[in-house]
Chain A
Amino acid sequence: MSPQQNSDVDESAEAFTSPTVIDQPVKGPDDAAESQATLSAEIESIETQYKQDVAGGKKPETQPRLDYRPYRSSILRHPTKDPRHTDPETIELFSPAFGHRDIGTLESDLTIQADGEPIGERIRVTGRVLDGEGRPVRGQLVEIWQANSAGRYIHKRDQHPAPIDPNFTGVGRTLTGDDGSYSFTTIKPGPYPWKNHHNAWRPAHIHFSLFGSEFTQRMITQMYFPGDPLFALDPIYQSITDQKARDRLVATYDHNITEHEFLMGYNWDIVLTGANRTWMEEEDDD
Protein backbone atom coordinates (compact mmCIF):
# COMPACT_ATOMS: atom_id res chain seq x y z
CA MET A 1 0.00 0.00 0.00
CA SER A 2 1.47 3.37 -0.88
CA PRO A 3 1.80 6.21 1.62
CA GLN A 4 -0.48 8.31 -0.59
CA GLN A 5 -3.32 5.85 -0.27
CA ASN A 6 -2.94 5.87 3.43
CA SER A 7 -2.96 9.60 3.84
CA ASP A 8 -6.28 9.61 2.01
CA VAL A 9 -7.95 7.11 4.26
CA ASP A 10 -7.26 8.65 7.62
CA GLU A 11 -10.55 9.99 8.94
CA SER A 12 -8.94 10.97 12.19
CA ALA A 13 -11.23 12.72 14.58
CA GLU A 14 -8.12 14.08 16.24
CA ALA A 15 -7.04 16.00 13.18
CA PHE A 16 -8.45 19.36 12.29
CA THR A 17 -10.62 19.18 9.22
CA SER A 18 -11.31 22.89 9.19
CA PRO A 19 -9.40 25.88 10.53
CA THR A 20 -12.66 27.30 11.91
CA VAL A 21 -12.56 24.70 14.64
CA ILE A 22 -10.13 26.87 16.49
CA ASP A 23 -12.51 29.80 16.85
CA GLN A 24 -15.75 27.92 17.03
CA PRO A 25 -15.59 24.48 18.56
CA VAL A 26 -17.90 22.06 16.80
CA LYS A 27 -19.60 19.35 18.82
CA GLY A 28 -18.57 16.13 17.20
CA PRO A 29 -18.27 12.49 18.23
CA ASP A 30 -15.48 13.47 20.57
CA ASP A 31 -17.46 16.42 21.92
CA ALA A 32 -14.62 18.83 21.29
CA ALA A 33 -16.41 21.61 23.18
CA GLU A 34 -15.35 20.20 26.52
CA SER A 35 -12.97 22.54 28.28
CA GLN A 36 -9.39 21.96 29.35
CA ALA A 37 -10.60 22.55 32.92
CA THR A 38 -12.97 19.56 32.63
CA LEU A 39 -10.19 17.38 31.27
CA SER A 40 -7.62 18.59 33.77
CA ALA A 41 -9.99 17.81 36.63
CA GLU A 42 -10.41 14.26 35.33
CA ILE A 43 -6.65 13.84 34.91
CA GLU A 44 -6.03 15.14 38.41
CA SER A 45 -8.66 12.94 39.98
CA ILE A 46 -7.17 9.80 38.37
CA GLU A 47 -3.69 10.79 39.51
CA THR A 48 -4.86 11.51 43.07
CA GLN A 49 -6.48 8.09 43.25
CA TYR A 50 -3.35 6.48 41.81
CA LYS A 51 -1.11 8.14 44.41
CA GLN A 52 -3.41 6.95 47.18
CA ASP A 53 -3.30 3.42 45.80
CA VAL A 54 0.50 3.44 45.65
CA ALA A 55 0.69 4.88 49.18
CA GLY A 56 -1.60 2.01 50.18
CA GLY A 57 0.87 -0.54 48.82
CA LYS A 58 -0.17 -0.91 45.16
CA LYS A 59 2.69 -1.58 42.75
CA PRO A 60 3.71 1.53 40.77
CA GLU A 61 2.60 1.51 37.14
CA THR A 62 5.18 1.67 34.35
CA GLN A 63 3.04 1.68 31.20
CA PRO A 64 0.11 3.82 30.03
CA ARG A 65 -3.37 2.74 31.01
CA LEU A 66 -5.29 1.47 28.02
CA ASP A 67 -8.50 2.56 29.75
CA TYR A 68 -7.89 6.27 30.24
CA ARG A 69 -11.06 8.29 29.84
CA PRO A 70 -9.46 11.75 29.49
CA TYR A 71 -8.11 10.52 26.12
CA ARG A 72 -11.61 10.34 24.64
CA SER A 73 -10.67 8.22 21.63
CA SER A 74 -9.58 5.44 24.00
CA ILE A 75 -13.07 4.96 25.46
CA LEU A 76 -14.25 2.47 22.81
CA ARG A 77 -10.80 1.24 21.84
CA HIS A 78 -9.43 -0.37 25.00
CA PRO A 79 -9.89 -4.05 25.80
CA THR A 80 -11.95 -4.59 28.95
CA LYS A 81 -10.80 -8.15 29.61
CA ASP A 82 -7.43 -8.89 31.20
CA PRO A 83 -4.78 -9.95 28.69
CA ARG A 84 -4.08 -13.70 28.62
CA HIS A 85 -0.80 -14.62 30.27
CA THR A 86 1.05 -16.47 27.56
CA ASP A 87 4.49 -18.03 27.26
CA PRO A 88 6.03 -16.88 24.01
CA GLU A 89 6.60 -19.57 21.40
CA THR A 90 9.37 -19.91 18.86
CA ILE A 91 8.35 -17.24 16.38
CA GLU A 92 7.66 -14.72 19.14
CA LEU A 93 11.18 -15.23 20.50
CA PHE A 94 12.68 -13.89 17.29
CA SER A 95 12.26 -10.56 15.59
CA PRO A 96 12.15 -9.47 11.97
CA ALA A 97 15.62 -8.63 10.69
CA PHE A 98 16.33 -5.37 8.90
CA GLY A 99 19.52 -4.59 7.03
CA HIS A 100 21.33 -1.80 5.28
CA ARG A 101 19.60 -2.78 2.06
CA ASP A 102 16.31 -1.75 3.70
CA ILE A 103 17.31 1.79 4.56
CA GLY A 104 19.07 4.63 2.80
CA THR A 105 22.04 6.01 4.74
CA LEU A 106 20.62 9.53 4.65
CA GLU A 107 17.27 8.59 6.16
CA SER A 108 18.41 9.42 9.69
CA ASP A 109 18.94 13.08 8.76
CA LEU A 110 15.53 14.72 8.35
CA THR A 111 17.11 18.07 7.45
CA ILE A 112 18.64 16.97 4.14
CA GLN A 113 15.72 15.19 2.48
CA ALA A 114 14.74 18.14 0.25
CA ASP A 115 16.54 20.72 -1.86
CA GLY A 116 16.44 23.38 0.84
CA GLU A 117 16.90 23.60 4.60
CA PRO A 118 13.82 23.09 6.77
CA ILE A 119 12.88 25.98 9.05
CA GLY A 120 13.23 25.70 12.80
CA GLU A 121 15.61 24.74 15.56
CA ARG A 122 18.01 22.08 14.29
CA ILE A 123 18.45 19.31 16.84
CA ARG A 124 20.05 15.92 17.23
CA VAL A 125 18.28 13.20 19.19
CA THR A 126 20.56 10.33 20.08
CA GLY A 127 20.64 7.49 22.57
CA ARG A 128 20.67 3.73 22.91
CA VAL A 129 18.07 1.02 22.58
CA LEU A 130 18.51 -1.56 25.35
CA ASP A 131 16.60 -4.63 26.41
CA GLY A 132 15.41 -5.22 29.96
CA GLU A 133 18.78 -6.73 30.87
CA GLY A 134 20.66 -3.65 29.69
CA ARG A 135 21.93 -5.40 26.57
CA PRO A 136 22.20 -3.25 23.45
CA VAL A 137 19.65 -4.02 20.74
CA ARG A 138 21.90 -4.28 17.68
CA GLY A 139 21.19 -3.59 14.03
CA GLN A 140 17.50 -3.05 14.63
CA LEU A 141 15.08 -0.71 12.90
CA VAL A 142 14.12 2.61 14.51
CA GLU A 143 11.47 4.72 12.75
CA ILE A 144 10.40 8.24 13.69
CA TRP A 145 7.80 10.75 12.52
CA GLN A 146 6.91 14.20 13.76
CA ALA A 147 5.32 17.60 13.10
CA ASN A 148 7.40 20.44 11.68
CA SER A 149 8.61 23.44 13.70
CA ALA A 150 5.18 25.06 13.37
CA GLY A 151 3.41 22.00 14.76
CA ARG A 152 2.06 20.87 11.40
CA TYR A 153 2.18 17.31 10.12
CA ILE A 154 2.60 16.84 6.39
CA HIS A 155 -0.33 14.40 6.60
CA LYS A 156 -3.27 15.55 4.44
CA ARG A 157 -5.76 15.29 7.26
CA ASP A 158 -3.78 17.70 9.37
CA GLN A 159 -5.24 21.00 8.25
CA HIS A 160 -4.52 23.10 11.27
CA PRO A 161 -3.58 26.55 9.99
CA ALA A 162 0.17 26.40 10.44
CA PRO A 163 2.51 26.39 7.46
CA ILE A 164 3.74 23.25 5.75
CA ASP A 165 7.50 23.30 5.35
CA PRO A 166 8.28 22.21 1.78
CA ASN A 167 11.71 21.07 2.97
CA PHE A 168 10.53 18.85 5.80
CA THR A 169 8.60 15.58 5.74
CA GLY A 170 9.23 14.72 9.38
CA VAL A 171 9.94 11.05 8.62
CA GLY A 172 13.19 9.23 9.46
CA ARG A 173 14.58 5.71 9.78
CA THR A 174 17.81 4.18 10.94
CA LEU A 175 19.39 0.94 12.19
CA THR A 176 20.91 0.80 15.66
CA GLY A 177 24.67 0.32 15.93
CA ASP A 178 26.48 -2.53 17.69
CA ASP A 179 26.17 -0.63 20.97
CA GLY A 180 22.42 -0.14 20.44
CA SER A 181 22.92 3.50 19.53
CA TYR A 182 20.78 5.54 17.18
CA SER A 183 21.01 9.17 16.09
CA PHE A 184 18.61 11.43 14.22
CA THR A 185 19.25 14.97 13.01
CA THR A 186 15.99 16.84 12.73
CA ILE A 187 14.06 20.02 13.55
CA LYS A 188 12.44 20.53 16.93
CA PRO A 189 8.71 19.91 16.44
CA GLY A 190 6.17 22.50 17.56
CA PRO A 191 3.21 21.84 19.86
CA TYR A 192 0.25 20.51 17.94
CA PRO A 193 -3.48 21.32 18.39
CA TRP A 194 -5.95 18.43 18.36
CA LYS A 195 -9.63 17.81 18.92
CA ASN A 196 -9.78 15.80 22.13
CA HIS A 197 -11.38 18.86 23.76
CA HIS A 198 -11.55 22.60 23.13
CA ASN A 199 -8.14 24.29 22.95
CA ALA A 200 -6.34 20.95 23.31
CA TRP A 201 -2.62 21.03 22.50
CA ARG A 202 -0.17 18.15 22.42
CA PRO A 203 3.25 18.80 23.93
CA ALA A 204 5.97 18.75 21.25
CA HIS A 205 6.83 15.12 20.56
CA ILE A 206 8.53 12.71 18.17
CA HIS A 207 6.89 9.34 17.46
CA PHE A 208 9.33 6.42 17.83
CA SER A 209 8.76 2.90 16.49
CA LEU A 210 11.05 0.19 17.89
CA PHE A 211 11.86 -3.47 17.38
CA GLY A 212 13.84 -5.64 19.78
CA SER A 213 15.48 -9.02 19.43
CA GLU A 214 12.08 -10.65 20.08
CA PHE A 215 8.72 -9.72 18.60
CA THR A 216 7.28 -9.50 22.14
CA GLN A 217 9.41 -6.34 22.54
CA ARG A 218 7.79 -4.51 19.62
CA MET A 219 6.67 -1.04 20.73
CA ILE A 220 5.65 2.41 19.56
CA THR A 221 5.96 5.45 21.78
CA GLN A 222 6.49 9.22 21.82
CA MET A 223 9.51 11.20 22.99
CA TYR A 224 8.97 14.58 24.64
CA PHE A 225 11.21 17.57 25.36
CA PRO A 226 12.21 18.67 28.86
CA GLY A 227 10.17 21.33 30.64
CA ASP A 228 7.19 21.36 28.27
CA PRO A 229 4.42 23.49 29.84
CA LEU A 230 1.77 21.26 28.23
CA PHE A 231 2.69 18.08 30.13
CA ALA A 232 0.11 18.56 32.87
CA LEU A 233 -2.65 19.24 30.34
CA ASP A 234 -2.07 16.35 27.95
CA PRO A 235 -4.25 13.21 28.33
CA ILE A 236 -1.91 11.05 26.22
CA TYR A 237 1.19 11.83 28.28
CA GLN A 238 -0.83 11.67 31.51
CA SER A 239 -2.25 8.23 30.59
CA ILE A 240 0.98 7.07 32.25
CA THR A 241 -0.23 7.81 35.76
CA ASP A 242 3.16 7.45 37.45
CA GLN A 243 5.41 10.52 37.31
CA LYS A 244 8.64 8.49 37.27
CA ALA A 245 7.32 6.38 34.39
CA ARG A 246 6.20 9.48 32.46
CA ASP A 247 9.65 11.01 32.93
CA ARG A 248 11.10 8.08 30.97
CA LEU A 249 9.58 9.56 27.81
CA VAL A 250 11.29 12.92 28.27
CA ALA A 251 14.66 13.44 26.58
CA THR A 252 17.53 15.13 28.41
CA TYR A 253 19.24 18.23 27.03
CA ASP A 254 22.92 17.31 26.62
CA HIS A 255 25.45 20.01 25.83
CA ASN A 256 27.98 17.36 24.82
CA ILE A 257 25.69 16.47 21.92
CA THR A 258 25.08 20.11 21.02
CA GLU A 259 27.35 21.27 18.20
CA HIS A 260 29.01 24.67 17.95
CA GLU A 261 26.89 27.04 15.86
CA PHE A 262 25.00 24.10 14.38
CA LEU A 263 22.47 22.19 16.51
CA MET A 264 21.07 21.50 19.98
CA GLY A 265 21.55 18.03 21.41
CA TYR A 266 19.19 15.71 23.25
CA ASN A 267 19.80 12.29 24.72
CA TRP A 268 17.08 9.66 25.04
CA ASP A 269 17.69 6.02 25.91
CA ILE A 270 14.97 3.46 25.32
CA VAL A 271 14.56 0.27 27.35
CA LEU A 272 12.47 -2.50 25.80
CA THR A 273 10.65 -5.12 27.83
CA GLY A 274 13.01 -7.86 29.02
CA ALA A 275 13.99 -10.55 26.56
CA ASN A 276 12.73 -14.09 27.13
CA ARG A 277 15.23 -15.87 24.91
CA THR A 278 18.59 -16.67 26.49
CA TRP A 279 21.77 -14.94 25.37
CA MET A 280 23.34 -18.24 24.37
CA GLU A 281 20.68 -18.67 21.69
CA GLU A 282 21.16 -15.08 20.61
CA GLU A 283 24.86 -15.72 19.95
CA ASP A 284 23.94 -18.80 17.91
CA ASP A 285 22.03 -16.63 15.47
CA ASP A 286 24.97 -14.46 14.61
Chain B
Amino acid sequence: MTETTPTTDLTPTPGQTVGPFYGYAMPYEHDNELVPPGSARAVQLTGTVYDGAGERVPDAILEIWQPDENGEVPRKTGSLLRNGFTFTGFGRAAVDPEGEFSFSTVNPGPTEAGKAPFISLVIFARGLLNRLFTRIYLPEDTEALAADPLLSSLDEDERARLVATRGADGSLHFDIRLQGEEETPFLRFPSHED
Protein backbone atom coordinates (compact mmCIF):
# COMPACT_ATOMS: atom_id res chain seq x y z
CA MET B 1 0.00 0.00 0.00
CA THR B 2 1.43 3.38 -0.90
CA GLU B 3 1.87 6.05 1.67
CA THR B 4 -0.74 8.36 0.29
CA THR B 5 -3.47 6.06 -0.95
CA PRO B 6 -6.13 8.39 -2.28
CA THR B 7 -9.25 8.40 -0.18
CA THR B 8 -12.28 10.03 -1.65
CA ASP B 9 -13.62 11.50 1.55
CA LEU B 10 -11.24 13.17 3.99
CA THR B 11 -13.93 14.83 6.08
CA PRO B 12 -13.17 14.06 9.72
CA THR B 13 -15.07 11.14 11.23
CA PRO B 14 -17.61 12.40 13.77
CA GLY B 15 -17.01 11.85 17.48
CA GLN B 16 -19.55 10.27 19.82
CA THR B 17 -19.98 10.14 23.58
CA VAL B 18 -17.66 7.85 25.56
CA GLY B 19 -20.89 6.43 27.08
CA PRO B 20 -21.30 4.94 30.54
CA PHE B 21 -19.23 1.77 30.17
CA TYR B 22 -15.66 2.94 29.55
CA GLY B 23 -14.82 1.86 33.12
CA TYR B 24 -13.78 -1.68 32.27
CA ALA B 25 -11.97 -0.68 29.08
CA MET B 26 -10.10 2.62 29.32
CA PRO B 27 -8.64 2.71 32.85
CA TYR B 28 -5.43 0.76 33.38
CA GLU B 29 -3.01 0.29 36.24
CA HIS B 30 -1.18 3.49 37.24
CA ASP B 31 -3.00 5.35 34.46
CA ASN B 32 -3.10 8.58 36.49
CA GLU B 33 0.51 8.29 37.72
CA LEU B 34 2.82 10.04 35.25
CA VAL B 35 5.37 9.81 38.05
CA PRO B 36 5.04 7.57 41.11
CA PRO B 37 3.00 9.36 43.81
CA GLY B 38 5.21 10.46 46.67
CA SER B 39 8.36 10.52 44.57
CA ALA B 40 10.55 13.61 44.97
CA ARG B 41 9.33 15.33 41.80
CA ALA B 42 5.66 14.34 42.12
CA VAL B 43 2.97 17.03 42.13
CA GLN B 44 -0.63 16.07 42.80
CA LEU B 45 -3.17 17.55 40.38
CA THR B 46 -6.76 17.28 41.61
CA GLY B 47 -10.15 18.68 40.73
CA THR B 48 -13.86 18.00 40.36
CA VAL B 49 -16.06 17.86 37.28
CA TYR B 50 -19.45 19.65 37.59
CA ASP B 51 -22.50 19.80 35.33
CA GLY B 52 -24.72 22.78 34.55
CA ALA B 53 -26.73 22.31 37.74
CA GLY B 54 -23.58 22.35 39.85
CA GLU B 55 -23.87 18.60 40.43
CA ARG B 56 -20.74 16.50 40.46
CA VAL B 57 -20.31 14.37 37.32
CA PRO B 58 -19.47 10.81 38.39
CA ASP B 59 -18.90 9.39 34.92
CA ALA B 60 -16.23 11.45 33.20
CA ILE B 61 -12.75 10.37 32.17
CA LEU B 62 -9.91 12.83 31.65
CA GLU B 63 -6.55 12.71 29.93
CA ILE B 64 -3.57 15.01 30.37
CA TRP B 65 -0.59 15.46 28.06
CA GLN B 66 2.32 17.70 29.01
CA PRO B 67 6.02 18.49 28.75
CA ASP B 68 8.41 17.60 31.57
CA GLU B 69 9.84 20.11 34.10
CA ASN B 70 12.32 21.37 31.50
CA GLY B 71 9.71 21.98 28.85
CA GLU B 72 10.80 18.94 26.85
CA VAL B 73 8.04 17.23 24.89
CA PRO B 74 8.20 13.52 25.83
CA ARG B 75 8.62 11.13 22.91
CA LYS B 76 8.86 7.98 25.03
CA THR B 77 6.47 5.05 24.90
CA GLY B 78 5.34 3.16 27.98
CA SER B 79 2.27 5.08 29.17
CA LEU B 80 0.18 1.89 29.37
CA LEU B 81 2.77 -0.21 31.14
CA ARG B 82 4.64 2.22 33.34
CA ASN B 83 8.07 1.30 34.65
CA GLY B 84 8.14 4.07 37.26
CA PHE B 85 11.12 5.81 35.68
CA THR B 86 10.12 6.92 32.19
CA PHE B 87 8.21 10.18 31.98
CA THR B 88 5.83 9.74 29.01
CA GLY B 89 3.82 12.93 29.59
CA PHE B 90 0.48 11.16 29.26
CA GLY B 91 -2.02 10.22 31.94
CA ARG B 92 -5.63 9.15 32.18
CA ALA B 93 -7.99 9.41 35.16
CA ALA B 94 -11.60 8.37 35.53
CA VAL B 95 -13.40 10.50 38.12
CA ASP B 96 -14.60 8.86 41.32
CA PRO B 97 -18.28 8.74 42.46
CA GLU B 98 -17.86 12.31 43.75
CA GLY B 99 -16.68 13.54 40.35
CA GLU B 100 -13.14 14.01 41.64
CA PHE B 101 -9.98 13.18 39.77
CA SER B 102 -6.34 12.99 40.78
CA PHE B 103 -3.10 12.78 38.81
CA SER B 104 0.45 12.40 40.06
CA THR B 105 2.61 14.38 37.68
CA VAL B 106 5.29 17.09 37.49
CA ASN B 107 5.09 20.84 36.95
CA PRO B 108 5.37 21.34 33.19
CA GLY B 109 8.15 23.66 32.07
CA PRO B 110 7.79 26.25 29.29
CA THR B 111 8.34 24.63 25.87
CA GLU B 112 9.94 27.89 24.71
CA ALA B 113 11.55 30.61 26.79
CA GLY B 114 8.96 33.08 28.04
CA LYS B 115 5.97 30.86 27.23
CA ALA B 116 3.42 30.13 29.94
CA PRO B 117 3.64 26.45 30.89
CA PHE B 118 0.43 24.45 30.76
CA ILE B 119 -0.96 20.92 30.80
CA SER B 120 -3.21 19.97 27.87
CA LEU B 121 -6.47 18.39 29.02
CA VAL B 122 -9.16 16.45 27.16
CA ILE B 123 -12.49 15.54 28.75
CA PHE B 124 -14.87 12.70 27.91
CA ALA B 125 -18.12 11.95 29.73
CA ARG B 126 -21.42 10.20 29.48
CA GLY B 127 -23.84 12.84 28.23
CA LEU B 128 -21.03 14.72 26.47
CA LEU B 129 -21.41 14.02 22.76
CA ASN B 130 -17.87 14.91 21.76
CA ARG B 131 -14.58 15.49 23.58
CA LEU B 132 -13.66 18.88 25.03
CA PHE B 133 -10.16 20.34 25.06
CA THR B 134 -8.79 22.86 27.51
CA ARG B 135 -5.54 23.88 29.23
CA ILE B 136 -4.40 23.89 32.84
CA TYR B 137 -1.94 26.77 33.32
CA LEU B 138 0.43 27.02 36.26
CA PRO B 139 -0.19 30.08 38.47
CA GLU B 140 3.43 31.19 39.06
CA ASP B 141 4.86 32.98 36.03
CA THR B 142 2.48 35.94 35.95
CA GLU B 143 4.48 37.73 33.26
CA ALA B 144 4.24 34.75 30.90
CA LEU B 145 0.54 34.31 31.76
CA ALA B 146 -0.13 37.94 30.87
CA ALA B 147 1.61 37.46 27.51
CA ASP B 148 -0.16 34.19 26.66
CA PRO B 149 -2.24 34.58 23.47
CA LEU B 150 -5.15 32.45 24.70
CA LEU B 151 -5.31 33.88 28.22
CA SER B 152 -5.03 37.46 27.04
CA SER B 153 -8.02 36.89 24.74
CA LEU B 154 -10.21 36.05 27.75
CA ASP B 155 -11.81 38.27 30.35
CA GLU B 156 -10.46 38.14 33.89
CA ASP B 157 -12.99 35.62 35.22
CA GLU B 158 -12.48 33.25 32.31
CA ARG B 159 -8.73 33.55 32.54
CA ALA B 160 -8.83 32.58 36.20
CA ARG B 161 -10.73 29.41 35.31
CA LEU B 162 -7.81 28.18 33.19
CA VAL B 163 -5.16 28.75 35.85
CA ALA B 164 -4.73 26.07 38.51
CA THR B 165 -4.46 27.05 42.16
CA ARG B 166 -1.38 25.97 44.10
CA GLY B 167 -1.75 24.31 47.49
CA ALA B 168 0.69 24.83 50.35
CA ASP B 169 1.99 21.30 49.71
CA GLY B 170 2.79 22.16 46.10
CA SER B 171 -0.29 20.43 44.70
CA LEU B 172 -2.36 21.84 41.86
CA HIS B 173 -6.14 22.19 41.86
CA PHE B 174 -8.29 22.66 38.75
CA ASP B 175 -12.08 22.23 38.60
CA ILE B 176 -14.00 21.67 35.38
CA ARG B 177 -17.49 23.07 34.85
CA LEU B 178 -19.14 21.71 31.73
CA GLN B 179 -21.89 24.33 31.71
CA GLY B 180 -23.19 27.43 33.49
CA GLU B 181 -22.05 30.79 34.81
CA GLU B 182 -18.63 29.49 35.74
CA GLU B 183 -18.25 27.34 32.62
CA THR B 184 -14.67 26.31 31.86
CA PRO B 185 -13.39 27.88 28.65
CA PHE B 186 -13.02 25.06 26.11
CA LEU B 187 -10.83 25.27 23.02
CA ARG B 188 -11.32 24.93 19.31
CA PHE B 189 -8.19 24.50 17.20
CA PRO B 190 -7.96 25.59 13.53
CA SER B 191 -7.91 21.92 12.47
CA HIS B 192 -11.34 21.51 14.08
CA GLU B 193 -12.93 24.00 11.71
CA ASP B 194 -15.34 22.23 9.40
Chain A residues at the B interface, C-beta cutoff of 8 Å: 1-3, 5-7, 9-12, 14-15, 59-66, 68, 71, 73-92, 94-99, 101-103, 128, 130, 132-136, 141, 143-145, 153-155, 157-158, 169-171, 173, 179, 181, 207, 209, 214-222, 236-237, 239-240, 245-246, 248-249, 269-276, 285
Contacts and interface: CB of A to CB of B under 8 A. Distances in A.
Contacts of B15: 63-64, 219-221
Interface in B62-120: 63, 65-67, 73-81, 88-90, 93-97, 108, 111-112, 115, 118, 120
B16 A221 contact: yes
Given A96-B65, A271-B13, 18 more contacts: A3-B25, A10-B58, A10-B59, A15-B21, A64-B129, A77-B178, A81-B183, A88-B191, A91-B65, A91-B73, A102-B78, A143-B25, A155-B24, A171-B24, A171-B25, A181-B1, A207-B25, A271-B11
Contacts of B23: 3, 6-7, 9-10, 155
A114 B112 CA distance: 49
B187 interface: yes
Nearest to A275: B191
Interface in B111-139: 111-112, 115, 118, 120, 122, 124-133
B12 interface: yes
Interface residues of B, number: 92
Interface of B: 1, 3-7, 9-29, 31-32, 51-53, 55, 57-59, 63, 65-67, 73-81, 88-90, 93-97, 108, 111-112, 115, 118, 120, 122, 124-133, 149-150, 153-154, 178-180, 183-192, 194
